[in-house]
């Protein structure tokens, strides 16, 4: 019971100050029938630090870590090198064990880093303002659609076929239960898709991912124009934030809302969560934006300081009239993200993006040489789609048996679509070495 400071002597002294004989008396409002007698079965008793460490380490050892060999898995989560100082800094107790900054005088640390974070997001997305983060990009995308519905007072969202299928599923679930229409465009793995033709006067927004889930990089300016002409908003989703070190930002292409996954910087894979959703928009929409916001102000001495602001949009004030029910953000992941990006800075972020792209180009070219394999992408950033001569899912299993995690079979994301069975998504980041590329090409040759 190393986390519990009270001694039995403390407890009896405290009970006497309270004026009761036993702690059971403090639970007297619990109906007799609802009281648990004895201890709960089938759960073990308390364990020492060594025992817990041993038990959970054994469980961890049953997983193959991404760093254990050649690794090319992406599709919305990416393996990148995280500088050592990031994890060191986020483990400082003053960050790690602090709560929502409701008392700004003694939480300027959290508030300032979130203000810096918001600024960074606005800068590299090319947008005016960003919030202090969302749960992740998939839930952020659903919130973006809800926001577009509020702004346009319309209720039909058009979802690109190049949108990550799990993001699409999250939006469709939200649509089903929050009462709007979500229209999915047909999937085309080659990247051909005319979303502009589908925009009409009922459309609240078009949701498009760039690079797409298949890796294609598109100029969204014509689509933005089509949306704006019809009074709809363009929502751009970015699952690989490193791409924005090299690519024209969505804001410059005319996006109204940008939702991005920040996992690539600072956060790590973590088997899918927690991640950090980035959410940016135009100044004029700021009061319709979901999530938490930090703003600059002055204190009683006129010194610059930061506070949570525009909270009149939020659930704790507006209750059933709030813009969303979200009452937290991904503070600690946002901290990791912002520290990593601060370490990179202008030069490092650009360099990291170039390194990712060049590595992916080398990987794609090497794999396209493998007999029977063809590359579907004319354009990509650090992830692309291969067409294999046989179903991709068993190929990936055989690659894994050879020690190479070779990518994501598209069928894993789209199990209902037989047309994608032979497609393989391959991601190559700066962590991929020439030897890794050679190992994948060799293993792929052997298993095909």
**Phi, psi at 6, each rounded to 5°:** -70, 135
CA torsion sign, 145 to 148 to 153 to 158? negative
Nearest to 439 by CA among 410, 408, 399, 393: 399
- State the Rg of the chain over Cα: 25
Q: Identify which of residues 2 and 153 has a Cβ nearer to other proteins in the complex.
A: 2
Q: Identify which of residues 6 and 419 has a Cβ nearer to other proteins in the complex.
A: 6
Spell out the residues 6+ positions from residue 68 whose beta carbon is closer than 8 angstroms to its own.
Answer: none
Subset of residues 265 to 294 that bind other proteins, contact rule: CB under 8 A: 268-274, 276, 286, 292-294
Please identify which residue in 234, 247, 265, 444 interacts with other proteins, judged by CB under 8 A: 247
Subset of residues 46 to 105 that bind other proteins, contact rule: CB under 8 A: 46-47, 49, 51-53, 55-68, 71, 73, 75-77, 79, 83, 85, 87-105
Please identify which residue in 149, 155, 329, 429 interacts with other proteins, judged by CB under 8 A: 329
Query: For residues 169 and 116, is the Cβ–Cβ distance under 8 A?
Result: no
Return d(Cα 20, Cα 335) in angstroms, integer: 46
Please identify which residue in 107, 160, 385, 429 interacts with other proteins, judged by CB under 8 A: 107
Subset of residues 390 to 429 that bind other proteins, contact rule: CB under 8 A: 396-397, 400, 405, 408, 412-413, 415-416
Strands 374-375 and 233-238: unpaired
Query: For residues 272 and 191, is the Cβ–Cβ distance under 8 A?
Result: no
Nearest to 255 by CA among 345, 138, 127: 127
Query: For residues 334 and 262, is the Cβ–Cβ distance under 8 A?
Result: yes
Subset of residues 116 to 155 that bind other proteins, contact rule: CB under 8 A: 116, 118-120, 122-124, 128-130, 132-133, 135-139
Spell out the residues 6+ positions from residue 86 whose beta carbon is closer than 8 angstroms to its own.
Answer: 266, 336, 339, 340, 343
Q: Identify which of residues 200 and 403 has a Cβ nearer to other proteins in the complex.
A: 403
The single residue listed with the structure tokens 């890796």 is 215
Q: Identify which of residues 201 and 321 has a Cβ nearer to other proteins in the complex.
A: 321
Please identify which residue in 192, 194, 200, 327 interacts with other proteins, judged by CB under 8 A: 327
Q: State the binding string over 200-239 for other proteins (x if CB under 8 A, else -).
A: -----------------xxx--------------------
By CB under 8 A, residue 8 contacts other proteins = no
Please identify which residue in 183, 196, 230, 361 interacts with other proteins, judged by CB under 8 A: 361
CB 334, min distance to other proteins, A: 8
By CB under 8 A, residue 194 contacts other proteins = no
Please identify which residue in 21, 190, 200, 345 interacts with other proteins, judged by CB under 8 A: 345
Query: For residues 324 and 146, is the Cβ–Cβ distance under 8 A?
Result: yes
């Amino acid at each position: 019971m190393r986390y519990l400071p009270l001694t039995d002597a403390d407890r009896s002294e405290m009970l006497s100050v309270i004026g009761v004989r036993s702690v059971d008396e403090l639970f007297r409002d619990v109906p007799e029938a609802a009281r648990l007698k004895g201890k709960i079965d089938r759960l073990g008793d308390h364990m020492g630090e060594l025992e817990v460490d041993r038990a959970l380490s054994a469980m961890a050892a049953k997983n193959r870590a991404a760093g254990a060999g050649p690794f090319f898995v992406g599709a919305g989560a990416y393996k990148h090198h995280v500088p050592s100082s990031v994890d060191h800094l986020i483990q400082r107790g003053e960050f790690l064990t602090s709560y929502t900054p409701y008392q700004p005088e003694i939480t300027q640390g959290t508030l300032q880093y979130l203000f810096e974070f918001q600024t960074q997001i606005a800068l590299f997305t090319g947008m005016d303002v960003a919030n202090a983060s969302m749960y992740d990009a998939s839930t952020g995308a659903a919130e973006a659609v809800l926001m577009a519905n509020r702004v346009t007072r319309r209720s039909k969202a058009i979802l690109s076929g190049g949108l990550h299928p799990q993001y699409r599923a999250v939006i469709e679930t939200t649509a089903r239960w929050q009462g709007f229409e979500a229209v999915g465009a047909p999937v085309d793995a080659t990247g051909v898709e005319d979303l502009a033709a589908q925009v009409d006067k009922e459309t609240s927004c078009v949701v498009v991912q760039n690079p797409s889930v298949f890796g294609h990089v598109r100029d969204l300016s014509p689509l933005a124009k089509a949306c704006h002409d019809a009074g709809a908003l363009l929502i751009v989703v970015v699952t690989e934030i490193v791409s924005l070190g090299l690519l024209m930002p969505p804001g410059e292409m005319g996006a109204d809302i940008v939702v991005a996954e920040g996992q690539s910087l600072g956060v790590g894979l973590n088997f899918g969560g927690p991640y950090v959703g980035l959410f940016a928009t135009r100044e004029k929409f700021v009061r319709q934006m979901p999530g938490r916001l930090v703003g600059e102000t002055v204190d009683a001495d006129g010194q610059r300081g930061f506070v949570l602001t525009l909270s009149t949009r939020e659930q704790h004030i507006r209750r059933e009239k709030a813009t969303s029910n979200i009452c937290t953000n991904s503070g600690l992941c946002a901290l990791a993200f912002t520290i990593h990006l601060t370490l990179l800075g202008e030069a490092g972020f650009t360099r990291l993006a170039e390194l990712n792209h060049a590595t992916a180009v080398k990987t794609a070219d090497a794999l396209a040489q493998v007999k029977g394999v063809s590359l579907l992408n004319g354009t990509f950033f650090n992830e692309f789609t291969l067409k294999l001569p046989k179903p991709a899912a068993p190929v990936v299993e055989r690659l894994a048996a050879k020690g190479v995690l070779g990518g994501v079979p598209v069928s894993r994301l789209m199990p209902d679509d037989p047309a994608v069975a032979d497609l393989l998504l391959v991601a190559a980041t700066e962590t991929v070495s020439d030897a890794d590329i050679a190992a994948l090409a060799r293993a792929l040759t052997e298993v095909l």
